[in-house]
Amino acid sequence: MASLLFLSRQVLAALPSLSLGFGTSTTGFDNQAEHEKITRAALKCPADDDASGKCFSPDFLDQLAGHILTFGAVGNPDDPFLWGTTLEAHPAHCDMADFFDGPDYPQSRDVATGILLECLAHIHGRFGEAIDAAAEILDDDGYIIPDEAEIPLGTGCIFTSAVTSSNSKCSAILGFGRALHGVQDFYSHSNWADEANASEPISVTNPPGLLNTALAPFLDYRFVGPPFIPYNLSTGCWTSPDLTPGVKECAGRVSHNSLNKDGSTGAPTEEKGPRALVGTNFDRAVHMAFEETSTKGVTMAVYWQLKKQGCPSGISDSSFQATCESQVPILHQNTSA
């Protein structure tokens, strides 16, 4: 279940070296703060542009992506100190929606689709929490409330398993980070953009890949269900230990370990399975997660910029939608999923 995407070498080359303890902690896991790296790379302001309203400042990214010895909002679902060894429940990571088109597979297509819809509802709901919290930064007359709009000095934002945080801005960051965690995990934990190992037969340990080159449309917040779910789309069944082939309740199923792209170097381990080592699967997952994060970041940044310019508050406010939606095209949270 731990969702530990590695950045591709192309993206890593553009980032400063990051050590243990950044973002999603590396302690006890075979990962390198991947959620932090993807989030920072996708959302940081260019050196010559820190005021466009479409990127995020370093102090904001420290809270969203994490920094030394912190998980950040995007790493919150992976924080074992908050959620225990199982981490946050499977919809936060798009796990357990496994399916394989074979005789007597333990989970039907309909059941797998239902579990995937739980993941989509979770992601869209978390984004909705961010929008709702952002609305509380302004008073009824549209003026910024200073205590709600600043990151607390000294402590920074304090994130727990609750929906709210230190103030409205921190709560908005928390909801946004949790939503980004889910969309990044979808591309790492599913076969949406990957391919099977051509040297092995198709099976539950080597399920077919869909090789999609476009982002998943049902992750768009404008999407109104029911979404079209490809018949062979699958995420992985997670349990501990997470192995290939699956064990315990994941025996005979497509396991998280068989399908994830959580690591790209070295031999497969419990935290990173063999799928990332096939073809360009690793780079595909990272590219999709990066692009999806960039899209969601522009949406949130422009929304907040428009709020400062006096847009009416409240995502369900029709006047807000009429005034701002043409400029911020991805605002609907999809509760129907």
How far are the Cα atoms of 35, 108, 185, 319 from residue 211, in angstroms, in the given order?
A: 23, 22, 17, 41
Best CA proximity match to 123, nearest among 12, 3, 243, 259: 3
Show the low-confidence residues of the chain (pLDDT under 50): 1-30, 51, 310-337
pLDDT of residue 11: 42
The neighbour count for residue 214, using CB atoms within 10 Å, is 9
Q: Which of 60, 12, 16, 92 is nearest to 297 (CA)?
A: 60
Over residues 270-291, the pLDDT tens digits come to: 566 789 889 999 889 989 999 9
Computed over every residue of the chain, the mean pLDDT equals 78
State residue 54's pLDDT score.
64
Q: What is the pLDDT of residue 29?
A: 40
Per-residue model confidence as pLDDT tens digits over 178-195 = 999 999 999 999 999 999
Boundaries of every domain in the chain = 9-324
* pLDDT computed for residue 284 by the predictor: 92
Cα separation, 63 vs 36, in Å, equals 10
pLDDT at 330: 36
Contact between 39 and 62 (Cβ < 8 Å): no
Contacts of 135 (CB under 8 A, 6+ apart): 307, 313, 314, 315
Of residues 63, 128, 134, 62, the one with CA closest to residue 301: 134
